[in-house]
Chain A
Amino acid sequence: MSTQATTSKSSRKSASALWFILGCLAPAIVLVLGFTYYPMLRGIVMAFQNYTLFDLTNVHFIGFDNFKEVLKSDNFLLALKNSFYWVVVSLVLQFVIGFGIALLLRKQFFGRGVYQGMIFFPWAMSGFLIGLIWRWLFNGQIGVINDLLIKIGIIDMPIAFLSSPSWGMFAVIVANVWYGIAFFAIMLLAALQSVPEEIYEAAAVDGTNRLQKLFLITVPYIMPTILTTVMLRVIWITNFPDLIYSMTNGGPAGSTHILATFMMDKILYGGEYGQAAAVGIIMMVLLVLFMFFYFSASKHEKAGDF
């Protein structure tokens, strides 16, 4: 009798816990399903349809025509190549400089908190504003970067950074590096501060020098953070059209388009939803391939525990 009472009580308790869990998760899951997953799946279907904003009465499946159309267009291969440079060069420079700053900030000094706060500033700004700011700095006639380079004596004449196809990618990558250093500096600093001092003391007894310490002790210790942050940044930089959009809008003549801006261009100016979705799928496939190789190459290390 009494045991029966306790079991029914505990099952009532676990039933109420279940309802509590469901009730708390439902709003988040329903909203994300409806307004994130549904449109994304719809977008994937769109890639195989004739779907343009200005001809919505004529929506029908066309197989891989959107992909063919996209692959044929002049700027696509250039955008693909640019995307590669955009991600790799930005990432490497952001990482190396960010790591260097993190190492410098490792030891406590007067005003470190304030310094950290100030170098974190770019992170509070939108890609759109950063693009605008650097568009003004890189101005071809009265830009301050040209002025400084002339004053130092590196160049004699101002360079038309943003209106020449050969300098455009350079300029947008500089802006992107400026923006992304803080992320690595802050994340790697947090990781560095978790390395226990005793490891170094043991190494000091063995007589290792500073460079050996860095590569044999520090880097392996913070490897999980390195792997996770690098992967996150690859995804974010690939999907980051905002900065280029406001800085050059892909110009001149498409020379600074990356896949993400190429895609936004199709949506915002052409209403070519089907083709835009095709570009999106190509980006997604490339990212998935990258992650596959990345995880198998780093499977001995522990890249976060997602």
Chain B
Amino acid sequence: MTDKRSAGERIVRILVMAAFLIVVIFPLYWMLITSLKPKKDIFSLPIHYWPKTLTFENYENIFKITKFHIYIINSLVVSLGAALVVLTISTLSSYVLARFKFRGSSQVMFFFFLTQVIPAFIGFAPLYLMMSKLNLVNSLSGLALVYTVMAIPFSTIMLKGFFQRVPSSLEEAAQIDGCSRLGALVRVIMPVMLPGLSATFIFSFVQNWNELFFSVMVIDSEKLKTIPVAMNSFITKFDVDWGSMSAATVLSVVPTLILFALCQKLIVQGLTQGAEKG
């Protein structure tokens, strides 16, 4: 790759990359632009690639007609809550799997890996029936519980990769200084692991924030709806009113886009380790 490249080749390379970037960005741009157009402009020809008049009426509309602020809060509570619990549980499990050689450790890894291969939908209906027996249907804590369980295997696999990069001499030194195992983990290892922990946290937060089918099955009442459940009912209710729909899309995508933009490097690192180390 050290060979000299001609100017023409460089231009082609830049053009291809620019074209690809446009293809990636354009659908998002189009949703944003649609959300800022007045209704009559959305549904009339010719199509404007830059809105003639900018308006926030679509955003005002969804907050007026629906309880969108409540959906946002519900989504935040469930996604954050579940992600925090997942982080705690899988920090413990992945730490042990990364640090200790014990009989059955590879079976435990396989136990977690297998859940990633089996289609989760097979368990959806029984899980729903189980939840209704436990009185956890139509409850945000029930939903958070399911999200927690769904994320544990992948988070464990991902965090194990991060733990393996931290030299074990660190906590050995801490233990010699009188720390307990758990104390060494919390006070010495976790600070070093901060990047890996945040990547895992964000990854499971985004998964919870985006999950659709199980929440649609479980959540029924208006005041408990999360954003995906609400948007799913918009489709049927308004026969897709694209003004409101695009505004809702933009609102629900912004938090995850910001998180991904801030921590993209970390997430990529976590994903590549997860895939390479399995």
Rounded to whole angstroms, the CA-CA distance of A40 and B152 in the bound complex is: 16
Per the bound structure, the CA–CA distance linking A136 and B109 in Å amounts to 42
Task: Establish whether residues B92 and A25, one from each chain, have CB atoms under 8 Å apart when the complex forms.
Answer: yes
In the complex, A104 has a CB within 8 A of chain B? yes
How many angstroms between the C-alpha atoms of A186 and B17 in the bound complex? 14
Chain B residue numbers with a CB within 8 Å of A35 are 127, 130, 145-146, 149
Q: Which one of B20, B130, B156 contacts A101 once the chains associate, using CB atoms below 8 Å?
A: B20
**What residues of A have a CB within 8 angstroms of the CB of B27 in the complex?**
133-134, 137, 178
Q: Which one of A124, A246, A276 lies within 8 Å of B257 (CB-CB)?
A: A124
Verify if B235 is at the interface (C-beta below 8 Å from A). yes
User: Which of A72-80, A115-123, A165-173 is found at the contact surface with chain B?
Assistant: A115-123
| Nearest CB in chain B: distance from A184 CB, A | 11
Residues of A within 8 Å of B96, CB to CB, are 20-21, 24-25
Q: Is the CB of B122 within 8 A of A43?
A: yes
A104 contacts B43, CB within 8 Å? no
Per-position 1/0 for A102-140, Cβ under 8 A of B: 001111000001011111111111111100111111000
Residues of A within 8 A of B45 (CB): 142
Give residues in A with beta carbon < 8 Å to B: 17-18, 20-21, 23-25, 27-29, 31-32, 34-40, 42-44, 46, 51, 53, 97, 100-101, 104-107, 113, 115-129, 132-137, 142, 144, 147, 178, 181-182, 186-187, 190-191, 197, 200-201, 204, 210, 224-225, 228-229, 232, 235, 238-239, 241-242, 245-246, 260, 263-264, 267-268, 273, 276-277, 280-281, 283-284, 287, 291, 304-306
Tell whether, in the assembled complex, residue B24 and residue A122 are in contact, meaning their CB atoms are under 8 Å apart: yes
Contact between A42 and B152 (Cβ–Cβ < 8 Å)? no
Kindly state whether residue B121 has any CB partner on chain A within 8 Å.
Answer: yes
Q: Are A36 and B149 in contact (CB under 8 A)?
A: yes
CB of B232 within 8 A of CB of A128, answer: yes
Q: A116-B268, A135-B240, A268-B216 are in contact. List 16 more A-B contacts (CB 8 A).
A: A27-B92, A32-B115, A32-B152, A101-B17, A121-B24, A129-B249, A129-B252, A136-B30, A142-B43, A197-B1, A228-B276, A239-B120, A245-B213, A268-B213, A287-B119, A304-B277
The stretch of B54-62, B164-172, B189-197, B259-267 in contact with A is B259-267
Question: Is B50 part of the binding interface, using a Cβ–Cβ cutoff of 8 Å?
Answer: no
B108 within 8 A of A: yes
Q: Which residue of A lies closest to B263 (CB)?
A: A117
**Contacts of A228 on B, CB cut-off 8 Å?**
275-276, 278
Known: A35-B127, A123-B260, A129-B249. A304 touches B275 (CB 8 A): yes
Given A124-B206, A144-B30, A235-B116, CB of A267 within 8 Å of CB of B124: yes
Counting CB contacts under 8 A, is B204 at the interface? no
Expressed in whole angstroms, the Cα–Cα distance for A117 and B1 within the complex equals: 24
For the side of the interface on B, what is the size category? 35 or more
Q: With A and B bound together, what is the CA distance between A210 and B47 in angstroms?
A: 45
Which B residue's beta carbon lies closest to that of A23? B92
6 contacts between A and B (CB under 8 A): A31-B148, A40-B126, A118-B24, A128-B228, A238-B119, A287-B117
Cβ–Cβ contact B24 & A119, under 8 A:
yes
Closest partner residue, chain A, to B97 (CB atom): A25
Q: How far is the CB of A22 from chain B (nearest CB, A)?
A: 9
A-B pairs under 8 A by CB, number:
250
What's the Cα separation between A284 and B121 when bound, in Å? Answer: 11
A224 and B25 alpha carbons, distance in the complex (Å): 31
- Complex Cα distance, B278 from A124, in Å, reads 22
Residues on B lying within 8 angstroms of A by beta carbon are 1-3, 13, 16-17, 20-21, 23-25, 27-28, 30-31, 34, 42-47, 89-90, 92-93, 95-97, 100, 102, 108-113, 115-127, 130, 145-146, 148-150, 152-153, 156, 181-182, 206, 209-213, 216-217, 228, 231-232, 235, 240, 242, 245-246, 249, 252-253, 256-257, 259-261, 264-265, 268, 271-272, 275-278
CA distance A150 to B21 in the complex (A): 22
Chain A residues closer than 8 Å to B181, beta-carbon distance:
17, 20
Q: Quick check: A42 and B123 within 8 Å, CB to CB?
A: yes
A124 near B30 (CB under 8 angstroms)?
Answer: no
What residues of A have a CB within 8 angstroms of the CB of B276 in the complex?
A: 224-225, 228, 304
A200 touches B1 (CB 8 A): yes
Q: Is the CB of A136 within 8 A of B31?
A: yes
A238–B121 Cα gap in the complex (Å)? Answer: 12
A29 & B123 in contact (Cβ 8 Å cutoff): no
B119 lies within 8 A of A280 (CB): yes
Least CB distance, B138 to chain A, in whole angstroms: 16
For A291, list chain B residues within 8 Å (CB): 117
Assembly CA distance A232 to B13 (angstroms): 29
The answer to whether A126 and B119 touch across the interface, beta carbons within 8 angstroms, is no
Q: Is the CB of A136 within 8 A of B119?
A: no
Closest-by-CB residue of A relative to B150 is: A36
Are A229 and B275 neighbours in the complex by a CB distance under 8 Å?
Answer: yes
Residue contact A242 to B212, C-beta cutoff 8 Å: yes
